[in-house]
Amino acid sequence: MLLAGCGESAGDAGGSVVAPTVEPGPTCIAFCMRAIGECEAYLSDEAGCRDGCQLNLDFEYATDERCGVAAEEVFLCATELSCQELYDWRDKTPIDAFPCRDEVLAFDALIGENVCLPGS
């Protein structure tokens, strides 16, 4: 499943940690406003969520356009959920009928076909 709501950082040549430059798009802004700002579904702050979400989407689109589209569909679906539904999506509850399950399964199918990378 997509790792959303976590900021990432990368080391520079000197060994210090620097934040990558990222410009969050509308999908990640909306998702993080909902997931963090309104529902407090993750411990991250909104800025970290937006950056982590966009880095994730950028990676998926760079891997394959289909991966990016599928990942974005998961975030878009989650953005439309009530807070309780968002918690259920995050926790995959119930396992056979959690919110946005179809979108998650579509993304997972691309991983199964070796189009997208697992663990992204």
**Band of pLDDT at residue 118, cut at 50, 70 and 90:** confident
pLDDT at 94: 96
For the entire predicted model, the pTM comes to 0.82
Burial readout 29-61 (b: 16 or more C-beta within 10 A, e: otherwise): bbbbebbbeebebbebebebbbbbbbbbbbbbe
Q: Which amino acid is at 107?
A: F
Over residues 43-81, the pLDDT tens digits come to 989 999 999 999 999 999 999 999 999 999 999 999 999
pLDDT, tens only, 22-38: 899 999 999 999 999 99
Q: What is the pLDDT of residues 73-116, one digit of tens each?
A: 999 999 999 999 999 999 999 999 999 999 999 999 999 999 99
Q: Which long-range contacts (CB under 8 A, 24 or more apart) does 55-64 make?
A: 55/8, 55/20, 55/22, 56/2, 56/3, 56/4, 56/120, 57/25, 57/27, 57/28, 58/22, 59/120, 60/116, 60/120, 63/115, 63/116, 63/117, 63/120, 64/110, 64/115, 64/116
Position 17 scores a pLDDT of 54
Helix axes 101-112, 65-79, angle to 10 degrees: 160
> Residue 7: is its pLDDT beyond 50?
no
**pLDDT reading at 2 higher than 60:** no
Decide which of 13 and 22 is more confident.
22
